[in-house]
Amino acid sequence: MIIHIDGKACVCEKGEYLLHVAAQNGIFIPRFCHHPGLPGQACCRVCLVEVETEAGGERQVVSSCVYPVEREMQVYTNSDKIKKQRRMVLSLLSARAPDSGRTAALLKSAGGSLPERFTRLAGEKCILCGLCAKACESVGTAAISVAGRGTDKKISTPFALPPDACIGCASCAAVCPTEVIAYVEDGGTRTIWGRSFQLKYCETCGDMLGTEEEVAHAANKAGGEPARLCPACRKKTIAGALGKPFARG
C-alpha cells in the first residue's frame, strides 16, 4: 500500500500507525507520550496530523501514534491548521511543566511561546503522559500510578510512600520524555522512589544485570533461576559448551 505524507510517496502495510510510517520514511512528527515499546498512549496530542482519505474531501485531525493506515490517503504533518493546534498543545504542556527543557525546545521549534495568561506550575517537569506508569505496569509491578484529579493530578506511589512493589528497575525513568524521574547509582546501590536496591553484576565480565529484586522478578516470570551472567557471556558459555564435543572429535 502507498500513502502520501507531505507529498512524499510512502510504502506501508495495512494497519501500521501513521507515526511509524512517517518515521520509516524519514519524516519527523513531534511527539512526547509515544514509545516504541509502549504503544497506544495518545494523550499528549503533539503528534497531530491531518488526514484526507478522499481527493478533495474533508480533512480529519488525528493522533498519528494511534491512527492505523487502512486505505490510500494524503497526510499533512505541517499544515497551517496543524501548526496552530500543535503550538497550542505545546503551550499547554509548557504551562503544565515550565521546567521541562524539552517541552520548551519543542514549543520554540514550533514557532510558539508560552502566553502570559497561562498559569504555570512552578518547579514542575512532568507532563502526565503516563509512560512511566505504563512501563511499570508492563513490567508487572504497578508500583506507581496516576493519582489525584485536575491540577492536583500527579504520578505517585501508593500513599506517597516508598513502594514495596518497586523492584528498582528504573524502567519508568528510562521512558520518561522529560527526565523528571531521578535515580542515583552509587557504590553498587541504586536509589529510586525513596528506596535503595543492591545491584547485581555479571560473574564473568562484571556488566550490570540490574537490581537483585529486578533479576529475581525476571527469573520468576520466566520460571527459571536468577541470572548470573549477562546475555553476551551467557551466549559465549552456551557456544563453548556446544563446541566441546566437536573439539574432542
pLDDT tens over the chain, length 249 residues: 899 999 999 999 999 999 999 999 999 999 888 888 887 777 889 999 999 988 778 899 999 999 999 999 999 999 999 999 999 999 999 998 999 988 999 999 998 888 888 888 888 999 999 999 999 999 989 999 999 888 788 999 999 999 999 999 999 999 999 999 999 999 899 999 999 999 999 999 999 999 999 999 999 999 999 999 999 999 988 887 666 555 554
Q: Which residue type occupies 146?
A: V
Of 224, 222, 198, nearest to 211 by C-alpha is 198
pLDDT at res. 245: 55
Q: Compute the distance between CA of residue 206 and CA of residue 188 in angstroms, rounded to an integer.
A: 12
In 128-230, where does DSSP find H-type helix?
Answer: 131-139, 171-175, 212-222
Domain ranges of the chain: 2-109, 131-242
| Contact by Cβ (8 Å): 1, 14 | yes
Half-sphere exposure of 245 (CA within 13 A, CB side): 3
pLDDT at res. 9: 96
pLDDT at res. 37: 84
pLDDT at res. 239: 83
Q: Compute the distance between CA of residue 8 and CA of residue 140 in angstroms, rounded to an integer.
A: 41
**Class of the CATH-defined domain 2-109:** alpha beta
pLDDT at res. 68: 95
Q: Compute the distance between CA of residue 221 and CA of residue 109 in angstroms, rounded to an integer.
A: 44
Neighbour count for residue 186 (Cβ, 10 Å): 9
Q: Compute the distance between CA of residue 236 and CA of residue 229 in angstroms, rounded to an integer.
A: 10
Exposed / middle / buried, residue 220 (Cβ in 10 Å: 0-12, 13-18, 19+): exposed
pTM score above 0.85: no
